[in-house]
């Protein structure tokens, strides 16, 4: 949201540290590491300690600025663990050097590389002092460390010099497609989670709270969805390949405020919920369900955080490549199939050519349908197919239904409970404000709904809920009546809540006592 202080200046979170109640306050500008250090200070442990939070139900809570707020009566339980000294500084130093070599291959992620290397170098220096190396060895290691820093600086400088003109012309150009298939981690890189029956059932609900899950847990939940729907059996997917596919997808979502991997998980989980809620397996094939789920997983891959309007107005590389026609959505498709072109990640490697051709066409159609510029066209087409009766056996009708379903899931945050949906509004406004700030700086047109000087949280949501979300979900409810109570009604409640918020914000403040006295005197 850029500068969110006008909406939510600070957050207060209550903690339980070994039975002692503590309270921390932080700005939404803080990073996850800042919050970690703040909790470590409150707990009286070093900043290098491992910190984890659990809520009253025992669920892990993510350490990031968007963590759910709690109350003094339900503090988060803090668990900390100090790191143990490693044996063999020569081994540590060798590991650092090997990590530096791999970092040079990540030339497009210089900032992440700098942060990672700085952290590792700091850890090495600390470990050398702990182990009490001889003065000569320490000096030698420090000289080597200095050389490493110089090499990183020179590599960064050459990269910046080489790409400066391109960056000035296209500040949000995409990463090279060729790099998308490079999986940086291999399995097993995250533990296997055993899901309780309660979690399995909760995962099928539109009320599912996506903020309580760490990235590795989200990967496991995605795996469960594909297994439970029978997609692994349908496409004869190697379970290890499925893990690699999800890992590679996760690595190719950027750390944007809104369009990130958690948004990908959120959209996919809502589709999974709608499949169960509407019993879609009764009107669609398992191949159709696989296309829906995979399209949700891939629908915003490598999103740069700036929308199509910016891409076109700024004449970015993506806009030029795709001739101003849905540049982002076309790019998401290209990255998705670049990932699938890697045999290690190709979950459709075992289907025949005709099946893959249908899958590719279906996923492409659905991802391109998420371009909101096509909203009116798709909804008008869908309404026509509802009259006089929807024909599930007609391919064109079924394709239109699938396009509407992924659109519903893509913008479904307000269907969820307020404590789940409202942080997403903050994330979206942050991304909007980042874009409008850049547009002002570059002299490009600025959309009023993105301008931090004109938009508020209620004004951003009321019109969108009233004129886009409610009409769309009401139309889908004509086919699946259960949606009216489970999805349309929560949207009406959200609309009323934001209208009340807007009314309260527009009310003038009550006059102070001094103003009252002055008015009486003047009369």
CB 345 within 8 A of CB 339: yes
Average pLDDT of 303-328?
Answer: 97
pLDDT digits (tens, 9 = 90+) for 195-225: 899 999 999 999 999 999 999 999 999 999 9
> If residue 296 lies in a helix (H) or strand (E), which one and from where to where?
helix 286-298
Residue 353, number of CB atoms within 10 A of its CB: 7
Q: Which of 36, 170, 259, 299 is catalytic?
A: 259
Write down the pLDDT at residue 31: 76
Q: How far apart are CA 455 and CA 459, in angstroms?
A: 6
Of the two residues 232 and 158, the one the predictor is more confident about is 232
Helix count (H) and strand count (E) of the chain?
22, 5
How big is the chain, counted in residues?
523
Mean pLDDT of 316-321: 97
Task: Please name which of 35, 37, 27 lies closest in space to residue 7, comparing C-alpha atoms.
Answer: 27
| pLDDT tens per residue across span 68-79 | 888 888 898 988
* Tokens (6 digits) for 108: 């497009």
Query: Residue 281: its pLDDT value, please?
Result: 97
Q: Pull the structure tokens for residue 141.
A: 């290691």
pLDDT band at 517 (very low <50, low <70, confident <90, very high): very low
Cβ-contact 26, 455 below 8 angstroms: no
pLDDT band at 176 (very low <50, low <70, confident <90, very high): very low
Rama region for 370: left / alpha / beta (φ>0; ψ in -120 to 50; rest) = alpha
- The predicted pLDDT at position 92 comes to 47
Contact 338, 323 (CB under 8 A): no
Query: Of 137, 95, 91, 143, which Cα lies nearest the Cα of 116?
Result: 95
Residues in a beta bridge with 17? 20
Residue 2 CB neighbour total at 10 angstroms: 19
Looking at every residue in the chain, the average pLDDT score rounds to 84
Q: Sheet with 50-54: list strands edge to edge.
A: 20-26, 11-17, 76-81, 50-54, 60-61
Confidence of residue 436 (pLDDT cuts 50, 70, 90): very high
Tell me how far the alpha carbon of residue 208 is from its chain's centroid.
16
Q: What is the DSSP letter of 173?
A: P
Structure tokens at 378: 């798709």
Question: What is the DSSP code (8-state) at residue 57?
Answer: T
Kindly indicate the confidence band of residue 37, based on its pLDDT and cuts at 50, 70 and 90. Answer: confident
Tell me whether strands 60-61 and 20-26 are parallel, antiparallel or unpaired: unpaired
Helices (H), 374-510: 375-386, 395-410, 418-442, 457-464, 470-477, 482-483, 489-506
DSSP state of 14: E
Segment 76-114, tens digit of pLDDT: 898 888 876 554 455 545 555 555 555 555 445 556 666
Residue range 251-285, pLDDT digits in tens: 999 999 999 999 999 999 999 999 999 999 999 99
The model's pTM is 0.66
Active site residue 259: yes
CA distance 105 to 402: 40
Which is nearest to 379 in space by CA: 292, 465, 473? 473
- For residue 81, the model assigns a pLDDT of 83
Closest CA to 289 of 339, 232, 248, 334: 232
Query: Which residues does 90 contact at the CB level (< 8 Å), separation at least 6?
Result: none
Confidence at residue 51, expressed as pLDDT on a 0 to 100 scale: 87
């Amino acid at each position: 949201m850029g500068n969110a202080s006008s909406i939510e200046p600070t957050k207060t979170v209550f903690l339980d540290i070994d039975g002692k109640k503590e309270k921390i306050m932080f700005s939404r500008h803080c990073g996850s590491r800042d919050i970690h250090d703040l909790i470590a200070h409150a707990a009286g442990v070093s900043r290098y300690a491992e910190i984890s939070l659990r809520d009253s139900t025992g669920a892990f809570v993510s350490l990031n600025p968007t963590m759910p707020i709690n109350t003094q009566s339900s503090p988060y339980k803090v668990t900390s663990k100090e790191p143990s000294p490693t044996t063999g500084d020569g081994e540590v130093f060798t590991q650092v050097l090997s990590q530096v070599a791999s970092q040079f291959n990540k030339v497009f992620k210089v900032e992440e590389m700098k942060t990672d290397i700085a952290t590792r170098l700091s850890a090495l220096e600390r470990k050398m002092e702990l182990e009490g190396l001889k003065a000569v060895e320490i000096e030698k290691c420090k000289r080597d460390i200095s050389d490493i820093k110089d090499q990183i600086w020179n590599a960064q400088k050459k990269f910046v010099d080489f790409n400066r003109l391109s960056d000035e012309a296209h500040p949000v150009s995409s990463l090279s497609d060729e790099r998308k298939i490079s999986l940086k981690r291999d399995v097993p890189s995250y533990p296997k989670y055993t899901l309780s029956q309660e979690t399995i059932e909760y995962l099928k609900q539109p009320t599912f709270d996506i903020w309580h899950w760490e990235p590795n847990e989200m990967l496991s939940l995605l795996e469960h969805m594909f297994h439970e729907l029978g997609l692994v059996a349908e496409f004869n997917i190697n379970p290890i390949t499925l893990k690699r596919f999800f890992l590679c997808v996760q690595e190719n979502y950027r750390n944007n405020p809104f369009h990130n991997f958690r948004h990908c998980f959120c959209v996919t989980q809502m589709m999974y919920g709608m499949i169960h809620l509407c019993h879609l397996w009764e009107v669609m094939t398992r191949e159709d369900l696989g296309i829906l789920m995979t399209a949700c997983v891939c629908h915003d891959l490598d999103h740069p955080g700036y929308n199509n309007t910016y891409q076109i107005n700024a004449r970015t590389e993506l806009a030029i490549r795709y001739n101003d026609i849905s540049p982002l959505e076309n790019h998401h498709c290209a990255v998705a199939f670049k990932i699938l072109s890697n045999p290690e990640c190709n979950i459709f490697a075992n289907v025949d050519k005709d099946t893959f051709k249908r899958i590719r066409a279906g996923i492409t159609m659905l991802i391109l349908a998420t371009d909101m510029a096509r909203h009116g066209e798709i909804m008008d087409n869908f309404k026509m197919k509802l009259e006089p009766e929807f024909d599930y056996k007609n391919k064109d009708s079924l394709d239109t239904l699938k396009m509407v379903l992924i659109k519903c899931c893509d913008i479904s945050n307000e269907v969820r409970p307020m404590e789940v949906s409202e942080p997403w509004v903050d994330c979206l406004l942050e991304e909007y404000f980042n874009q409008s700030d850049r547009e002002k700086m570059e002299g490009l047109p600025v959309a009023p709904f993105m301008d931090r000087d004109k938009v508020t949280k209620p004004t951003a949501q009321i019109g969108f809920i009233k004129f886009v979300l409610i009409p769309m979900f009401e139309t889908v409810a004509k086919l699946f009546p259960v949606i009216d109570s489970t999805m349309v009604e929560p949207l009406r409640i959200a609309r009323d809540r934001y209208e009340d918020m807007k009314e309260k914000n527009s009310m003038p403040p009550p006059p102070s006592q001094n103003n009252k006295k002055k008015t009486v005197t003047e009369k």
